[in-house]
Structure 1
């Protein structure tokens, strides 16, 4: 929800969908000199025919690229992605912090009518929508401060990931042409993930919705559009209406089951598995055992909807963060089992463009 004109000096940010990218092929020094030797200008000029073929006007094209030069910090970000070493427990302590829960609870009260409407329209749990919103951009508080066109153009010019970012750049120009936002507000992460939903431009085309009915799909400044777009994304990825993401469970002392084992909830109950909150197991449906902290940490039975959450970010820790944050905003208590403090493997961090 950044405001004001684009500044060429805006710093790159590492949130959103770019954290799983591979090394770039163009040195930072080459990018720094690109605008001086005219090669970047030639790249932009060569892009025009493809943009024009997609219905981009010359006025939109020139406004989008006004003052744009390659951003060396974007390429530097691709080369400085340190190994992620937080354990699942450490990650979730931050993701589901008291402060984030309090912020989410306040935001829920403010936007409850839109969340209820999204749940009715798309069948997606309103609190899971809150969990995604909270983890992606801290409920819209920080959605990135890089001009998306500049970031994408830098990566496309570098031939980073082949033609992927060139395609995303053309899609971003299409968003400007349609008037959903303008260059001054088209802000996002260093890798081009945009707005409160952190959609890549191609995902915007597929999943963003005009939920407030003003004629624009504005995932930057319209909270209703961000809420509706997140719900639509999860809906189109197979969310099962009325189903849960899963439950924390207590395993019998023998704990014979292996991580990833799937069975009906009735079978789990017959094996002595119990919900940690004391509730009843569902009469139907399937649950998969998840022990992300090992046998000494919390255990969960998760449903197909948990996999749908992972489609937003292919990380078990992320999906648990979304799920548990949503539960806490809904008024459920914290986990009953503690996370191991030592000997736990670092969490896997995989972030992919939502394309």
Structure 2
């Protein structure tokens, strides 16, 4: 049954909004959801008939990629004093939750805070698009649509299974949602109902959002108490060719020694990947371990992973002094 707010929202849409009921992929999508997922056809049509095409989303996602920022430029975006200070406050305000979640999942609180701090500024910037509009626009009208087609399906399954209002949920132009910016498939796999109220509310329930990010890392095999990365030097220029080659781990310390990397003496031998970062003073090299790799499962970027790691350490240090 559709709620009163759903009906009110439906009646408030402008008559000239470009919707998807006449799109050639609309009917096949309806039939696919009904046959493959036993979706109630009436409910499905009621939801999708309200999805609006957003040209701004297509413009944003089709915009030519900017050049890849150097590390020192990327760092400047996320390692600002205000983001660090708000991270400390976030830990203080939700200390009881962090105390329990850290024990339950084994993921350090400062890392969870840093993820939420990088993704949404601790919940202050979570996205201004209706998710149904974003995913419908990308599923039906973006040429590279296969990912978003699947995520639209996941979104519809998500709202059905969790009794959510499909037309009211907000997110980014790519359909990422909540404090931790989960796409629908991530919500289905990793969202947690921390407080036991029967809802996995990653939009408004900070406790649910914290536990969901922690569970995400646990599922990707976060190694509690293990190191994340070490700064290293090279003893020959040949070793540089292995840097930034892949996000995957690429050999243990013996392998990296043979390649010309001065591996750290205070860390036991382990599998690692080598990354090169451009600083204001030249090149810097890091050996990154399993936990660094886990961070890249949240966002496939060595720059992102290092920003999260460094922000987490800044928050941890400042929190210890508070």
In structure 2, how many angstroms separate the alpha carbons of the residues matched to 1:59 and 1:111? 42
1:51-77 CA-partner distances (Å, limit 9, x unpaired): 334243356425533533211111111
| Contact 2:123–2:179, Cα closer than 8 Å, also in 1 | yes
In the other structure, the counterpart of 2:246 is none
| Contact 1:290–1:299, Cα closer than 8 Å, also in 2 | yes
| Contact 1:286–1:303, Cα closer than 8 Å, also in 2 | yes
C-alpha RMSD of matched pairs (Å): 3.3
In the other structure, the counterpart of 1:14 is none
Q: Of 57, 71, 87, which aligns to 1:74?
A: 57
Gaps of 5+ in 2: 1-7, 244-249
2:160 is the alignment partner of 1:174: no
Q: Structure 1 residues 303, 203: CA separation in 2 closer, same or farther (over 3 Å shift)?
A: same
Determine which structure has the larger helix proportion and give its number.
Answer: 2
Question: Residues 116-135 of structure 1: matches in 2 within 5 Å?
Answer: 116-135=99-118
Question: Residues 32-111 of structure 1: matches in 2 within 5 Å?
Answer: 35=19, 39-40=22-23, 43-53=25-35, 54-58=37-41, 60-65=43-48, 67-111=50-94
Q: Structure 1 residues 63, 118: CA separation in 2 closer, same or farther (over 3 Å shift)?
A: farther
Question: What's the TM-score, normalizing by structure 2?
Answer: 0.79
Q: Structure 1 residues 247, 163: CA separation in 2 closer, same or farther (over 3 Å shift)?
A: closer
Post-superposition offset of 1:89: 0.5
Q: State the structure with bigger RCO (CA 8 A, min sep 6), 1 or 2.
A: 1
| Contact 1:60–1:176, Cα closer than 8 Å, also in 2 | no
Question: Residues 135-174 of structure 1: matches in 2 within 5 Å?
Answer: 135-158=118-141, 160-174=143-157
Q: Structure 1 residues 248, 118: CA separation in 2 closer, same or farther (over 3 Å shift)?
A: farther
| Contact 1:212–1:224, Cα closer than 8 Å, also in 2 | yes
In the other structure, the counterpart of 1:16 is none
Determine helix, strand or coil for the equivalent of 1:300. Answer: strand
In the other structure, the counterpart of 2:276 is 291
Question: What's the TM-score, normalizing by structure 1?
Answer: 0.72
Post-superposition offset of 1:217: 1.4
Q: Of 249, 267, 273, which aligns to 1:282?
A: 267
How many residues matched?
Answer: 296
In structure 2, how many angstroms separate the alpha carbons of the residues matched to 1:8 and 1:290? 50
| Contact 1:180–1:217, Cα closer than 8 Å, also in 2 | no
Q: Of 283, 298, 304, which aligns to 1:312?
A: 298
Post-superposition offset of 1:162: 4.3
Post-superposition offset of 1:316: 0.8
Gaps of 5+ in 1: 10-31, 275-279, 334-355
| Contact 1:133–1:197, Cα closer than 8 Å, also in 2 | yes
Post-superposition offset of 1:306: 0.4
